[in-house]
């Protein structure tokens, strides 16, 4: 008789746990209309952006290869947006800077002249990027 009661209690406890788990699962499935709208917005495709030609000119195709249907092909090697500095140009700039440092250490150049040249190089470094971007954009 005690075995039947223990078995009954175990069955009732198991059923209660199953019911609680089902209730917890169902409670997690509900979402508010705001959450549903936000999820739908995330799944929505992006809107198309149509670029118009500037200055009345036809838009030029990029340097990418294009298929006959107009879609770009990415199989061709890409080219740089701007020319790279050559090794000779880099060596020339390095010589200029090294000569400036050597003149300062030797005392053949005044501190004011050294600071003026350093400021000139720093100004060139600060403005060169913006100048190059504006030249590329035009």
Prediction pTM value: 0.33
- Distance between CA atoms of residues 83 and 128, nearest Å: 14
Over residues 102-117, the mean pLDDT reads 87
pLDDT tens track for 17-51: 888 877 777 666 667 788 888 888 888 877 776 66
Q: Determine contact, residues 85/94, Cβ cutoff 8 Å.
A: no
pLDDT, tens only, 10-23: 888 988 888 887 77
Domain boundaries, the chain: 110-138
**Torsion from C-alpha of 77, 82, 85, 89, nearest 10 degrees:** 140
């Amino acid at each position: 008789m005690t075995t039947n009661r223990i078995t009954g209690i175990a069955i009732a406890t198991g059923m209660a746990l199953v019911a609680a788990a089902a209730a917890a699962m169902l409670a997690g499935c509900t979402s508010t209309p705001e959450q549903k709208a936000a999820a739908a917005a995330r799944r929505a495709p992006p809107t198309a952006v149509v670029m118009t030609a500037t200055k009345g000119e036809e838009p030029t195709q990029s340097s990418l290869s294009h298929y006959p249907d107009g879609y770009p092909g990415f199989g061709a090697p890409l080219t740089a947006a701007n020319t790279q500095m050559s090794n000779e140009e880099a060596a020339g700039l390095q010589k200029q800077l090294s000569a400036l440092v050597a003149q300062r250490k030797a005392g053949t150049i005044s501190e004011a002249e050294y600071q003026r040249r350093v400021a000139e190089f720093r100004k060139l470094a600060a403005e060169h990027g913006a100048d190059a971007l504006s030249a590329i954009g035009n």
